Amino acid sequence: MLTPENNQTEIMRRESDYKPPRSLSHWLIGRPLSTSDAPHQTIGKAVGLAVFASDALSSTAYATQEILGVLAAAGTLAYGYVFPISIAIIILLAIVTISYEQTIHAYPGGGGAYIVARDNLGELPAQTAGAALLTDYILTVAVSVSSGVAQIVSAYPRLFDYRVELAVGAVLFVMLVNLRGVKESGAAFAIPTYFFVIMMFSAVGFGMFRYLTGSLGKVVDPPELTLLHTIGALTPFLILHAFANGTTALTGVEAISNGITAFKEPRSRNAGITLIWMSIILGSLFLGISYLTGRIGAVFSEQETIISQLARTVFNGRGILYISTIWATTVVLIMAANTAFADFPRLGALHAGDGFLPRQLTFRGSRLVYSNGIITLAIIASALIVIFRASVTRLIPLYAIGVFLSFTLSQGGMARRWWKIGHLKEGEEVVEPGSTLRYQQNWRFKMVVNSFGALCTSIVAIVFAVTKFREGAWVVLILTPMLVMIFFRIHYHYKDLAHSLSLEDFAGVPARQTRHRVIMPVSGVHQGTLDGLHYARLLSSDVTVVHISIDPAETEKVQKKWVTWGEGTRLVILDSPYRLFVEPLLEYLKEIIDHRQPNETITVVVPQFIPSKRWHNLLHMRTAEVLRTELLSKHGVVVTDVPYHVEDGHTHEE
């Protein structure tokens, strides 16, 4: 039923009763959800930990290993620095956690580093933070899934040659689960996440107990040591290099601040508590693994991971507890990609909403998730896995620079925000796009905390860029500015388009045209042609039918039929000695456009038959589509399709 809108009879509103019919996609990702279901798709703290913390928690499976991989260049004696380096990383984790906890409460609408930088530092820093984070999320999927497959290969070496196929398959699986919705993906991944936490705390806890009681021992039959390079001496540069590798443990800490809107109310409180839970679990496991790695004499190897060496040493072989630990680690590493799948589409939608990425990324799919962003992430990450052959060691140098750059911009933006708050009067409010500023007495302390955090993370970003430059970090250092340039090019296009379409200072539509000329190209004379002619004559009495003559015999048939069926309408035959169809027609139209009268409208009517079965389209030339594509780019020309539906047994060539 139609109802007036605000008692205005010229504006009517009607609620559609249409429901999407069942299809294959419903079986894969579930039935479509109504927009009104959105509030019911939010998640609590327990599920939120599984959705947004799996990336950070899973990094404990490879962060220690990456530290060892660098220190191995100076010999096994350098392994003694693993634990001190890990302590330094945990201190950095505490600084970043405190900063993002403040960000969560200051920006309850989510957006993390992007929104903070946009509101406080300007568009260029915001787009830089966004580009860095988007790149990091892509690498999160590639690194975490590749690391998960490495765990499987450690337990089942025969699968080594199939690691790329396994990794791509895992990415597609996680993509499919995320297309089902945030709530569903969180529920599906919650049990594996908590199983991983239980198994890792069991391994670390039991390992510490055995070490304290003197029964732990060393790794039995350790794998062959893998040396990426040899320098023979421990240098400050090498320690910084190892520290930079270990900071991959902090990737994913920002994820919760980007996805606040996914939490149930009170959003900020639930997200903040989840962040603290995540940091405590992450810090405890990372320190425990790093400490025990030195005690058991584990070595860096591409054939067997540190987690595998630790688990079989703690649990005395490859029994059920070992297998459970390996599978729990594998699953959570693959699930770490889920964090990126939850945040990449949201961040992409924010960029697109501001006009810096294609608008299609703002559209929610049938399950109320940003489906286009999810699919885009899966495609790019799969391509990286194929290019780098699912090697964690080859992918790591590209990793973490982006996240620490975003850490720095986020904390710098928060420091700037506290400075602005400190210059407000009590009771004064300033509304910004992402938050509302109100005076706070402790603004100086918070500004110092965020400034110190920005300093620390900027130093780490520089260290990472310098130490990893030759190993591939230069790719990210070039890619990020390129992405920012692309963002601004997209933004300028949308701004120019909006300016061209704006109604401001618009004087209205010009007076009604005094002449309407209709041109209808035809390749033959049949029922579809006559349908198009009938419509063309409804538009105007000035109708010209154009036939491009390529085959003289066919042209003669067209002429004879037109005399019978053309109803006296003018027919122009354009001879094409080079057997071209579109180009002579475009030249003819250009001549008419160049000589048209003022206020004259030219409409090109294109008859197009529609077969009853889609696959029948493969059997025909589809000239109407070619014409439409070419003519739409011509100024001053209106293109109108006239479809003619053909039933089985009555199909005629266009």
Which residues share a beta bridge with 124?
none
Using pLDDT thresholds of 50, 70 and 90, give the confidence band for residue 199: very high
**pLDDT tier at 651 (50, 70, 90 boundaries)?**
very low
Asked whether 550 and 579 are in contact (CB, 8 A), the reply is yes
Reduced to 3 states (helix: H, G, I; strand: E, B; else coil), residue 5 is: strand
**In the predicted model, what is the mean pLDDT of residues 349-361?**
90
Superfamily of domain 515-645: HUPs (3.40.50.620)
Identity of the amino acid at 384: L
3-state secondary structure of 599: coil
Burial pattern 145-177, b for ≥16 Cβ within 10 A else e, equals: bbbbbbbbbbbeeeeeeebbebbbebbeebbeb
Calculate the dihedral angle through the C-alpha atoms of 211, 200, 246, 413, rounding to the nearest 10 degrees.
-130
At position 580, the amino acid (one-letter code) is L
Q: Is the pLDDT of residue 125 over 90?
A: yes
Name the most confidently modeled range: 31-45, 142-156, 463-477, 622-636: 142-156
Q: Which of 448, 425, 195, 459 is nearest to 328 (CA)?
A: 195
What is the pLDDT confidence band of residue 24, given thresholds at 50, 70 and 90? low
Give the pLDDT band (50/70/90) at residue 538: very high
Q: Where are the alpha helices (DSSP H) in 468-568?
A: 474-501, 527-539, 552-565
Instruction: Please say if the pLDDT value at position 29 is more than 50.
Output: yes
Question: What does the pLDDT read at residue 292?
Answer: 93
Tell me which of 3.40.50, 1.20.120, 1.10.10, 1.20.1740 is the CATH number of domain 39-88+107-267+284-397+461-494: 1.20.1740
> What pLDDT, in 10s, does the model give residues 294-317?
899 888 887 788 899 999 999 988
Whether residue 22 has pLDDT greater than 70? no
pLDDT tier for residue 511 given thresholds of 50, 70 and 90: low
Q: Specify the amino acid at residue 410.
A: S
Domain boundaries, the chain: 39-88+107-267+284-397+461-494, 515-645
Q: What is the mean pLDDT of residues 577-596?
A: 82
Helical segments of 247-396, H only: 255-258, 267-296, 306-314, 320-353, 371-387, 392-395
Please state, in angstroms and rounded to a whole number, the distance separating the CA atoms of residues 63 and 280.
16
Residue 470 gets which letter from DSSP? I
Q: Please provide the average confidence, as pLDDT, over all residues in the chain.
A: 83
Residue 596, token pair as written in the block:
């048209």
Backbone angles phi, psi at 315, to 5 degrees: -100, 15
Write down the residue that tokens 């529920």 correspond to: 187
Strands 637-645 and 600-610: parallel
Percent of the chain with pLDDT over 70: 86
Q: Identify the band that residue 322 occupies on the pLDDT scale cut at 50, 70 and 90.
A: very high
- For residue 217 the two structure tokens come to 């021992």
- pLDDT confidence of 619, banded at 50, 70, 90? low
pLDDT of residue 650: 46
Residue for token pair 């060496």: 309
Identify the weakest region by mean pLDDT among 71-80, 404-413, 634-643.
Answer: 71-80
Tens digits of residue pLDDT in 428-484: 888 888 888 989 888 998 899 889 889 988 988 888 788 777 777 777 888 889 999
What is the CA 131 to chain-centroid distance, rounded?
Answer: 11
Adjacent-strand bridge partners of 573: 547
Secondary structure E strands in 142-200: none
Buried b / exposed e across 418-448, counting CB within 10 Å, b at 16+? bbebeeeeeeeeeeeebbebeeeeebeebbe
pLDDT in tens, 247-265: 888 887 888 887 788 888 8
Q: Indicate whether 653 pLDDT > 50.
A: no
What amino acid occupies position 420? K
DSSP annotation of 403: H
Residue with the bigger pLDDT between 163 and 74: it is 163
